[in-house]
A and B are shown apart, each in its own frame.
Chain A
Amino acid sequence: MSPKISPNLQLTEDGRLRHLLTLDGLPARILTQILDTAESFISVGDREVKKVPLLRGKAIFNIFFENSTRTRTTFEIAAKRLSADVVNLNIGASSQSKGETLLDTVANLAAMQADMFVVRHSAAGAAHLIARHVAPHISVVNAGDGRAAHPTQGLLDMYTLRHFKGPFHKLRVAIVGDILHSRVARSQIHALTTLGCPEVRVVAPRTLLPRDVESMGVHVYERIEEGIRDVDAVLMLRLQNERMQGARLPSSGEFYKRWGLTPEKLKYAKPDAIVMHPGPMNRGVEIDSDVADGKQAVILPQVTFGIAVRMAVMSMLGGGQA
């Protein structure tokens, strides 16, 4: 008898989305529903009035224990396009250093009439912990927790793939870079395997791969030439300088020579393969400028899709609780 596996924290009893914490364990129908709903939100950005009234009167708190202007901004834009009120909190300096516990901070914020928390934290499982302790009417969206998950990024990457490349069951995809430290990579892998992508590859030196990465359903390649051969999409990861610890890589220079995506290396992929990157890019470290600015890169559309996907997630979480 092991400690009980709780029923999926992310879903209500009738299978609707209650929190978005990780793509691991979410059924394919939910992921697909998010992508389909996002499609409807794309056009909102092209209109005169870039808003729909769905979350009018609702308060969304962006609680970022770990800084990120980019991600926070896209969540803010998405929330405002849903007509929600947005409150931004950079916790880093204030309460945490005063010794207030994570849960106390969250409880105080909930008392300020919050309806939804968007949380980014440097420790895996932080969003799960918060989700276990909020009142029933509050939803939690994980904007990144340590190395564990970045579900909205994984979803917008899936949206991008589907948009440019069609159904997942026909695709061969390679994720290149520091998988070990990447929450983006983990979310991408969970999404791709759930959505039925038959061949998901990871490309990295052994020191940047989790020891049991194969158990996640991926094929491991240690050389980029083999790793991206004939793939439909190359998903680049940022080389996480700030997260590298210990003796895992001698230099970013050596990384670039062996695993950096240059036009020459890109030729190994299919001629119409797309190149994606979650941003911000380290030009000359994991990706060459010619590729980043080239016709196969879809990095800018990813940003647009990111807003629509976040709108879809927030609109599926809000509502239905009156």
Chain B
Amino acid sequence: MHLPTPERLIDKLVEQISPDIGPGGWQPQALVGMHTGGVWVMENLVERLGLREMPTGTLDTSFYRDDYAQRGLHDGVKPSRIPFDVEGRRILLIDDVLNTGRSVRAAMNLLFDYGRPAHIRLAVLVDRGGRQLPICADYAGLRLDMPAGERINLEKDADGRLSLVVSGRKS
């Protein structure tokens, strides 16, 4: 299968989100990117949507994952930074790949420990299907249904270029 490039998918997200930015839309007041791929997507969206003035935050869901008992704390925990008041805010949560929905569940739990947001919507670069929780993406660059064993990851090379990589595919 030939995958669209991340740039193309960002274009699609921009198309979907733009109408909602201004009056007439739900008007998000802050963007929060989920480490690490979601932060890259957020950085691109900030540029393309012209949202440099909007408060942004990043979060790492390591402390809220539901597989801690089985797997322990995984390496490479990054600090979460939410430098704005979450209380009563409309927040656009951004991730790279939506799969089971567990990461998003963890991200929302984390956000709620900062305060009570008024409204959360979810934007993802790729919704690859395989949901295990009732979570859905409000905005998605691409929606598809990948078989269970396959994985799709957003990667960034040394020059800062993004690419989507599929693995586990049976040939």
Point out residues on A near B: beta carbons under 8 Å: 16, 33, 36-37, 39-40, 42-44, 47-49, 51-54, 315-316, 318-322
Q: What are 28 residue pairs bridging A and B, where the CB atoms are less than 8 Å apart in the complex?
A: A33-B75, A36-B76, A37-B77, A40-B63, A48-B113, A48-B114, A49-B112, A49-B114, A51-B113, A52-B63, A52-B64, A52-B110, A53-B63, A53-B64, A54-B68, A54-B73, A316-B72, A319-B68, A319-B69, A319-B70, A319-B72, A319-B73, A320-B69, A320-B70, A320-B71, A320-B72, A320-B73, A321-B69
Residue of B nearest to A314 (CB): B73
B residues neighboring A (CB under 8 Å): 60, 62-64, 68-73, 75-81, 109-110, 112-115
Chain A proximity of B81: nearest CB distance (Å): 7
A37-B77, A319-B69 given; name 18 further pairs at CB < 8 Å: A16-B72, A36-B76, A40-B60, A40-B78, A40-B80, A48-B114, A48-B115, A53-B64, A54-B63, A54-B68, A316-B72, A318-B68, A319-B70, A319-B73, A320-B68, A320-B71, A321-B69, A322-B70
Q: Contacts of B64 on A, CB cut-off 8 Å? A: 52-53
Q: What residues of B have a CB within 8 angstroms of the CB of A37 in the complex?
A: 73, 77
B71 — which chain A residues lie within 8 A by C-beta? 319-320
Q: A43 touches which one: B68, B76, B80 (CB < 8 A)?
A: B80
Instruction: Return the chain A residue nearest B68 by Cβ.
Output: A319
Distance of A316 Cα from B72 Cα, bound (Å):
7
Q: Roughly how many angstroms separate A92 CA and B110 CA in the complex, as a whole number?
A: 40
Q: How far is the CA of A52 from the CA of B69 in the complex (A)?
A: 14
Q: Complex: how many Å from CA A42 to CA B81?
A: 10
- How far, in whole Å, are A268 and B62 apart by their CA atoms in the complex? 44
Q: A52-B64, A315-B63, A319-B68 are in contact. Are A36 and B77 (CB under 8 A)?
A: yes
Residues of B within 8 A of A316 (CB): 72-73
What 4 A-B pairs have minimum CB-CB distances, sorted nearest first? A320-B72, A52-B63, A49-B113, A319-B72
Chain B residues with CB under 8 Å of A39's CB are: 79
B128 CB to nearest A CB, Å: 27
Query: Contact between A40 and B79 (Cβ–Cβ < 8 Å)?
Result: yes
Smallest beta-carbon distance B82→chain A, Å: 8
For B110, the closest partner residue in chain A by CB is A52
In the assembled complex, the CB of B86 is this many whole angstroms from the nearest CB of chain A, namely 8
For the complex, give the distance between the alpha carbons of A260 and B110 in Å: 46
Q: Which residues of B have CB within 8 Å of A52?
A: 63-64, 110, 113
- Cβ-closest chain A residue relative to B109: A53
Closest Cβ–Cβ distance, residue A168 to chain B (whole Å)? 20
The answer to whether B81 touches A43 (Cβ under 8 A) is yes
A216 CA to B132 CA, complexed, in Å: 54
Kindly provide the distance from the CB of A304 to the nearest chain B CB, expressed in whole angstroms. Answer: 14
Assuming the contacts A48-B115, A52-B113, asked whether A40 and B62 have C-beta atoms less than 8 A apart, the reply is: yes
Rounded to whole angstroms, the CA-CA distance of A44 and B80 in the bound complex is 9
CA gap between A44 and B70 in the complex, in Å: 24
Bound Cα distance A53, B60 (Å): 14
Q: Find A42's partner among B75, B79, B109, B110 (CB 8 Å cutoff).
A: B79
B63 / chain A contacts, CB cutoff of 8 Å? 40, 44, 52-54, 315
Task: Considering the complex, give the chain B residue whose CB is closest to the CB of A36.
Answer: B77
User: What residues of chain B lie closer than 8 Å to A319, measured between beta carbons?
Assistant: 68-73
Among residues of A, the one whose C-beta sits closest to the C-beta of B113 is A49
Alpha-carbon distance A164/B122, docked complex (angstroms): 38
**CA A318 to CA B71, docked complex, whole Å:** 10
Residues of B with C-beta under 8 A to A40: 60, 62-63, 77-80
Q: How far, in Å, is A161 (CB) from chain B's closest CB? A: 18
Instruction: Return chain A residues, CB-CB under 8 Å to B70.
Output: 319-320, 322
Complex Cα gap A320–B80 (Å): 22
Residue of B nearest to A322 (CB): B69
Contacts of A43 in B (CB 8 A): 79-81
Instruction: Report chain A residues within 8 Å CB of B76.
Output: 36
A316 to B112, CA, bound (A): 24
Distance between A36 CB and nearest chain B CB, rounded to angstroms: 7
Question: With the chains together, A313 CA to B81 CA distance in Å?
Answer: 21
Distance in angstroms between the alpha carbons of A39 and B64 in the assembled complex:
16
Contacts of A16 in B (CB 8 A): 72
Chain B residues near A320 (CB-CB < 8 A):
68-73
* Listed residue (B69, B109, B112) with the most chain A CB atoms within 10 angstroms of its CB: B69
Contacts of B68 in A (CB 8 A): 54, 318-320
Complex interface: chain B residues within 8 A of A54 (CB):
63, 68, 73
What is the CA–CA distance of A61 and B81 in the complex, to the nearest angstrom? 31
